[in-house]
């Protein structure tokens, strides 16, 4: 190897890259970035996360009986009321009289149902119902005309409850049309040999998958277990008859416990 070749292969005192930008500068930058990462990690580990809005399970009363509504409201657990033509007919009072009294008691969503079967008639009725009070939610059956009405009403800012829902397919169409709520009727499905709650599970899962804003009201509830299942599967609310609400409160062991406490208290010396 001649002298020129030796000079060519001879390792320089400092790498050309290092000469251009300086190795010390790179190390300083790496140290600076590492320190910032450490500080950020410490901040994230100690800083409390922002409070997320928690989903709330609500209880509605499925009735038009004002006395039942007053009782449930006095317990401090009532979030809203759902009615329908059948429930109103049981009161022996006019529809307008019932609705006006209900909205004076409950500060929450009050579902009132249309009786027209064509889109034009539903829309006309819904507009009149919505004028009664800002809490009125108009119940519209899931039919082709019902979907047309829901679409128009949602565009006008009128809240709707897509009712008589018996399948996840119907629920998908209702939320696509713009329904504020959808009410799967689980009891009636159970009555014909189907598992009503399975439909609710499907609806809840689908709505979560696509972040649909329509809320799920589990309706046609027959017993307290339906309410528990509705809450477990993530439904937004359950609308229950008053007798089911009373059963939810009661428990045999609670009654036995109160009786024993009172008997023991009677033995405690007074004065």
Catalytic residues: 139
* Short-list 46, 163, 150, CA closest to 113: 163
> Beta-carbon neighbour count of residue 259 at 10 Å?
10
What is the β-pairing status of strands 110-113 and 237-240?
unpaired
First-residue to last-residue Cα distance in the chain = 118
Structure tokens, 193: 């040999």
226: phi then psi, degrees, rounded to nearest 5:
-60, -40
Q: Which of 82, 88, 146, 138 is nearest to 114 (CA)?
A: 138
Report DSSP letters for 228-252, one per residue. HHHHHTT-SEEEE-HHHHHHHH--H
Residue appearing with tokens 């040999």:
193
């Amino acid at each position: 190897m001649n002298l020129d070749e030796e000079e060519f292969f001879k390792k320089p005192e400092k790498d050309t890259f290092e000469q251009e930008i300086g190795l010390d500068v790179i190390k300083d930058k790496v140290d600076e970035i590492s320190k910032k990462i450490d500080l950020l990690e410490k901040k994230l580990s100690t800083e409390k996360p922002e409070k997320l809005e928690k989903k709330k399970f609500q209880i509605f009363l499925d009735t038009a009986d004002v006395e039942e509504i007053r009782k449930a409201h006095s317990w401090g657990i009532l979030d809203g009321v759902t009615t329908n033509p059948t429930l109103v007919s049981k009161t022996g009072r006019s529809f307008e009289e019932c609705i006006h009294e209900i909205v004076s008691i409950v500060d929450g969503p009050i579902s009132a149902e249309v009786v027209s079967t064509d889109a034009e008639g539903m829309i006309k009725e819904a507009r009149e119902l919505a004028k009664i009070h800002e809490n009125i939610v108009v119940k519209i059956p899931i039919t082709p005309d019902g979907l047309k009405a829901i679409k128009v009403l949602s565009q006008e800012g009128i809240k709707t409850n897509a009712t008589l829902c018996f399948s996840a397919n119907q629920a998908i169409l209702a939320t696509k049309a713009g329904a504020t709520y959808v009410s799967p009727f689980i009891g009636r499905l159970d009555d014909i040999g189907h598992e009503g709650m399975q439909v609710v599970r499907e609806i809840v899962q689908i709505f979560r998958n696509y972040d649909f804003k329509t809320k799920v009201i589990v309706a046609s509830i027959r017993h307290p277990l339906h309410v528990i299942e509705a809450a477990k599967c993530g439904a937004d609310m359950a609308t229950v008859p008053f007798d089911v609400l009373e059963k939810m409160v009661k428990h045999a062991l609670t009654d036995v416990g109160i009786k024993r406490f009172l008997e023991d208290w009677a033995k405690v010396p007074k004065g």
